[in-house]
Amino acid sequence: MVEIELDGKKVEVAPGSVVMHAAEKAGVYVPHFCYHKKLSIAASCRMCLVEVEKAPKPMPACATPVTQGMVVRTKTDKAIKAQQSVMEFLLINHPLDCPICDQGGECQLQDLAVGYSGSTSRYEEEKRVVPNKDVGPLVSMEEMSRCIHCTRCVRFGQEIAGQMELGMSHRGEHAEIETFVGKTIDSELSGNMIDICPVGALTSKPFRYSARTWEMSRRRSVSPHDSTGANLVVQVKNHRVMRVIPFENEAVNECWIADRDRFSYEALNSSDRLTQPMLKQGGEWKTVDWQTALEYVANGVTDIKSQHGADAIGLLASPHSTVEELFLAGALIRGIGSNSIDHRLRHAEHNPASGVRWLGRSIASLSTLDRALVVGSNLRKDHPLFAQRIRQAAKRGAKVSVLNERTTDWAIALQSVVNAPATEWINELSKIASAIATAKEVAAPVAVVPDAAAISIGKALLSGSDKAILLGNAAAHHEHASALLGLANWIGQQTGATVGYLTEAANTVGAQLVKALPSGNGLTAQQMLGGEAKALFLLNVEPGLDTAGGPAALAKVAKSQMVVTLSPFRTNLECSDVLLPIAPFSETAGSFVNAEGLLQSFHAVVKPLGDTRPAWKVLRVLSNMLGVAALKQDAVPEVLAAALPGVVSGEVVPNAKLSNAQPVVRVDVSHATTPCTASIYQLDGLVRRSPSLQMTADARAAGVMNGVVA
């Protein structure tokens, strides 16, 4: 450790640190613009000038390495005058239009100008004007005259997002931040550029001129999309969600969120929201009250049970539903006498699972990997924040290998890429296992001859100390998912690598923990979607979009005797008999279990829209009407305690409850089908209904236009 004196305090920091790190440790604020703890040092703004003993001039705190015995002063006249001079320089070309700036009230430049700027400007010449730029539907660059050239956005693209979408052209006062030859900003993490911009140059296009920061209340929540479980701050005005920004949690999402976490809130206020229960009568939809709708459902279920037995009643649940909702859904179905409940909507294999599948390690540890093999995943689009962590690991020298159907740009330096049809994945993994077996002189699980790529991947996994084999969405949804997992486990045992699933949805792990799975003679998702259920509940499920069967499954579901849709949106109109409006994540309390097994609870941030009700309350009331006596919980904490006894919010589920164990199994792969996976902005109902997300390059590439999906 290196000891320095900072404003009269002794501070110890690690060798190689800069003065800014020492100031942060000592709790001393040094004004800055270009410095950001997650980005490289640029030292371009010079706002962090401090006085260093024996130095001939003020030194930038962000770029001055600490030395033993260094004496630093941040509040002397010399330091403050230097900072005031820099501030005057930065404001020379700034339009000084705070009253109309969308960043007003949360602008770093505005805040520091109060303390370090003069009351008047001495600059009388003409100011530069930067032309507006259209860079896509999410990020606004219409006010680039406010840019102070800190280059945070440029460095974010290069270092975090993995692609340099922004750069600085020209020099001096003519310098501009812009994209290359009129291109758009298409990164799945682009919204973070808005957060890190210290002025009003980059702003949110969907939020632009909607509200002022001081008008909104801030409430914590958790992302309902992928398995990261990103922590959010939801900003609310007049019981309406106005904006979503990240809440820093170093162990989960650091200080970043993906664009679908940030902009999917648009769906919450869309015209597609279902606000009252509806019944289909004579082929027409009519609005009814809750009592009528629930009595209709209860009577219909009772009639079907008496005619066809309880086994004819099933429930399909989205893994984006909360722990509480899934637990009560299971209790409802089993209380009726059926075992037909399933959350594996896109899976092709429906064998009884031998354990709760999870990541196999902490999310934070992805950043420290030195060897990784990713199977069946478009990592950058399926799990943007996981990809970001692995990208940082690769920058530090980690060797990352991929087995997938096609090459996609992960913006990560890859060691080995094996492109093969899904039918060949088992054979390709067998080759890797054989290469490892040959190197270790042990018997291979499958007798195949390894090729050069398999040998290269095998050598990489046999070296290094922190290793992981990660199975993506396509691997989890594979027709022979168990065989892939069995081979991955054998490779992991031989190389010392952890084995885990990236897991698709916000609550995939939680759905397994509360046993939202069929048992005994219960119907699987595949069977229910095939039309074998006479009565079917759809909890946050759109069969045509959320399932492996797609439109064909929707047609088969429509032939069921009764279909009840529980959704925040007007959907499934073709196949449903009843629509029950349930609250999205913003209007209900609940919990998600992310990929690493971390239980995170959240509260409602706004009142339910119209006659919308939390799904857990609807399920409990419906259970009571159907005579399921066991469900008596009156509050979300009570439901959670019954669902996951002994697990507290903010804690990781005990490892004893999680397992990726699977022996090697022999299967016939000659007729395996291509796994069903969702594109980045088709993952769930919220992102599908966000107009801004549907105008992105990724959405257009997936063939989705104009935003709202009916």
| pLDDT score for 709 | 41
pLDDT band at 151 (very low <50, low <70, confident <90, very high): very high
- Characterize 39-54 residue by residue with b for buried, 16 or more Cβ atoms within 10 angstroms of its Cβ, and e for exposed: beebbbbbbbbbbbee
| pLDDT score for 185 | 96
Average pLDDT over residues 106-120: 90
For 418, how many CA atoms within 13 A lie in the half-sphere containing its CB?
29
Average pLDDT over residues 392-399: 96
| pLDDT score for 119 | 79
pLDDT band at 670 (very low <50, low <70, confident <90, very high): low
The string of pLDDT tens digits covering residues 613-626 is: 999 999 999 999 99
pLDDT > 70 in the chain, percent: 98
Mean pLDDT, the chain, rounded, equals: 94
Average pLDDT over residues 30-34: 96
Check if the beta carbon of residue 367 is closer than 8 Å to that of residue 501: no
Amino acid letter for position 523: L
Average pLDDT over residues 6-31: 95
| pLDDT score for 707 | 41
| pLDDT score for 182 | 81
pTM of the full structure? 0.95
d(CA 190, CA 181): 18
| pLDDT score for 181 | 86
pLDDT band at 173 (very low <50, low <70, confident <90, very high): confident
* Ranges of H-type helices in 337-468: 379-382, 384-395, 425-440, 452-462
d(CA 228, CA 594): 6
Average pLDDT over residues 370-393: 97
The string of pLDDT tens digits covering residues 494-541 is: 999 999 999 999 999 999 999 999 999 999 999 999 999 999 999 999
The string of pLDDT tens digits covering residues 460-499 is: 999 999 999 999 999 999 999 999 999 999 999 999 999 9
The string of pLDDT tens digits covering residues 558-607 is: 999 999 999 999 999 999 999 999 999 999 999 999 999 999 999 999 99
From residue 333, alpha-carbon distances to 10, 30, 336 in Å are 64, 59, 5
Check if the beta carbon of residue 241 is closer than 8 Å to that of residue 234: yes
| pLDDT score of 705 more than 60 | no
* Residues in contact with 217: Cβ distance below 8 Å, sequence separation at least 6, in sequence order: 235, 236, 237
Q: Kindly tell me the burial class for residue 208, based on how many C-beta atoms sit within 10 Å of its own C-beta (0-12, 13-18, 19 or more).
A: exposed
Check if the beta carbon of residue 554 is closer than 8 Å to that of residue 544: yes
The string of pLDDT tens digits covering residues 272-283 is: 999 999 999 988
Task: Tell me the pairing of strands 341-342 and 313-317.
Answer: parallel
Q: Name the CA dihedral angle for 177, 183, 187, 189, rounded to a multiple of 10 degrees.
A: 30
Amino acid letter for position 83: Q
d(CA 565, CA 569): 10
The string of pLDDT tens digits covering residues 261-271 is: 999 999 999 99
d(CA 175, CA 152): 15
pLDDT band at 414 (very low <50, low <70, confident <90, very high): very high
Question: Angle 9-10-16 (CA atoms, 0-180°, nearest 5)?
Answer: 125
Average pLDDT over residues 685-698: 96
d(CA 533, CA 547): 16
Q: Kindly tell me the burial class for residue 172, based on how many C-beta atoms sit within 10 Å of its own C-beta (0-12, 13-18, 19 or more).
A: exposed
From residue 579, alpha-carbon distances to 267, 288, 534 in Å are 18, 10, 17
d(CA 511, CA 539): 13
d(CA 46, CA 476): 50
Q: Read off the tokens for 472.
A: 């993506």
Check if the beta carbon of residue 560 is closer than 8 Å to that of residue 532: no
| pLDDT score for 70 | 95
d(CA 46, CA 59): 8
- DSSP E strand boundaries for 367-513: 371-375, 399-404, 416-419, 467-471, 498-501
Average pLDDT over residues 648-655: 94
The Cβ of residue 663 has, within 10 Å, a number of other Cβ atoms equal to 11
d(CA 315, CA 522): 10
The string of pLDDT tens digits covering residues 321-369 is: 999 999 999 999 999 999 999 999 999 999 887 899 999 999 999 999 9
